[in-house]
Amino acid sequence: MKSRPKQLFRAAALIRQCLEQHRQENVAIMLPNRQWNDCARSLQMIVRATERGWHRAAARIRTDLAFQADYCRTCLQSFSTDLAQLGQAPKLPSEGDVYRELVALEAEFDEVECDFDAEELCITTPSVTLEGIEFGPFQIRLDWNRLGESQPYRVVALEPNPATSNDAVTHPHVSDETLCEGDGRRAIHAALVEGRLVDFFLLVWRLLETYAPGQAYVELREWHGRPCHDCGTITDEDDRYVCADCDLTFCCDCMSWCSRCDQSFCLGCIGNCDACGNSVCAGCRETCVACDATLCVDCVTDGRCPTCHDEQQEHESNETEPLPTGDDSVTTAAHIPLETDPSATNKGSCHV
C-alpha cells in the first residue's frame, strides 16, 4: 500500500524529531538477564532429571544448555561493545534523508503503512516458512516515539501458528511480539539511531527468515510438542500421556499404570502396595487401620494388611482357647463326690 507524498513528509518530520530527542546517550543498554536465566533453568532441569534417573532427558537438556550458554556469551560481548560505544553521538539524518528512506521502503516492501494514530511505521513481510513449518506473514511495527529504547518495535504474526507449548511464541525467535535479535542486535540498533529505516526493516525481516538452533524460545523440533509437567521434556502427541487423576501432561518416563483399573497416572498420583508391590492409584488402594500401610484393595482383609490381619487372628484364637487343667492324675476338689451319712442329718438336731 503506497502512501501519498504528503503523508511521507509528515512521517519523516515526526521520525526526525524523535531521533533528535533520543540521541545515543539516552539509549538504554541491557544485560543479558533473560539468556542467563534460561541457562540457570536448564541447569536445574538437568540436576532434577539426573536425580530421578531420567538420563535421556538430561542428555537432551545438556545439548540445549550448550547452545544457550554460547548465546549468552555472545549477548554479553554485545553488551560490552555497546557499553564502550555509549556516549558517541551518531550521525543525525535530516528530514530529507528520512523522507528518502520512506520512499525506498515503499519500493522494497509491498505493504508499508504510516499509522499516525498509533504513531507507528509498519511493513508486512512475505510469508515465513522454516524447515517445513509455516508461520505466515509478519507485520513489523516501529514506534517512532520509542526510538531511544533498546527495542522500539513489535513483530506481530498476522496468521499465527504458535508453538503448542506456548501460545505467546509465534516464531522460534519471537515471544510476546518481541524478537530475540541475537547477533543482529548491534546492526539493528545502529540502523535505528542513524535513521536507516530500510536497513532496519530488512535486518528484522532477515532474522525472521532465519532459525538459530539453541537460541530459540521454542525449538522447531519441539514446535508441536508439549513439555512434561514433571521433568520438562518436550514430547510430541504420540509420546505424551495425560494423568487420569490430575489431567496434566507427562512423558512416558514420568507415568505409570494402575495394576487394578489399568489407567495411566503420573508418579505423583500413584503409589505401590506395601504388601504385593504392585502400582495402584488412589481409587484402588486403602490404608491398614492398624499400621497405616498403603495397600491395594486385593491385599486388604477386614481393613488390615496381611501381617496385621494374621496377628489379629492369632490374638483372637488365643482368647477363645480353654485354660490348661494341669496334671490329669490330680482330681480337683470341685470334682470329689461328697459321702452322705443318713445319721448325720440328725446330728445336732434338738429333740423335745
Average pLDDT over residues 94-122: 94
Looking up residue 134, the CATH number of its domain turns out to be 3.10.110
Asked if residue 276 has pLDDT above 70, the reply is yes
Q: Within this chain, do residues 259 and 121 fall inside the same structural domain, yes or no?
A: no
Distance of CA 178 to the CA centre of its chain: 20
- Residues 14 and 148 grouped into a single domain: yes
Of 222, 255, 281, the position where a domain reaches its end is 222
User: Which residues span the domain enclosing 184?
Assistant: 5-29+86-222
State the pLDDT confidence band at 215, using cuts at 50, 70 and 90: confident
State yes or no: pLDDT of 128 exceeds 60. yes
Number of domains the chain is built from: 2
Last residue of a domain, one of 222, 256, 283: 222
Kindly indicate the confidence band of residue 211, based on its pLDDT and cuts at 50, 70 and 90.
Answer: very high
Which residues lie below 8 Å from residue 193, measured CB to CB, with a gap of 6+?
Answer: 19, 22, 23, 24, 27, 90, 147
> Per-residue pLDDT for 4 more than 80?
no
Residue 2 contacts residue 52 (beta carbons within 8 Å)? no
Domain shared by 103 and 179, yes or no: yes
Band (332; pLDDT cuts 50, 70, 90): very low
Position 237 scores a pLDDT of 66
138 and 181 share one domain: yes
Same domain, residue pair 238 and 155: no
Q: Is residue 157 part of a domain?
A: yes
- Check whether residue 163 and residue 211 sit in a common domain: yes
Whether 326 maps to a domain, the answer reads no
Confidence of residue 334 (pLDDT cuts 50, 70, 90): very low
Domain membership of residue 343 (yes or no) is no
- Residue 298 in any domain: the answer is yes
Q: What is the pLDDT of residue 170?
A: 97
Give the cell for residue 76: 554479553
**Mean pLDDT, residues 314-334 taken together:** 61
User: Could you tell me if residue 64 is inside a domain?
Assistant: no
Among 239, 234, 278, 275, smallest CA distance to 260 is for 278
pLDDT score, position 25 = 45
Q: Looking at residue 122, what is its pLDDT?
A: 96
Question: Hey, what amino acid is at 106?
Answer: E
- Entry pTM: 0.57
pLDDT at 24: 46
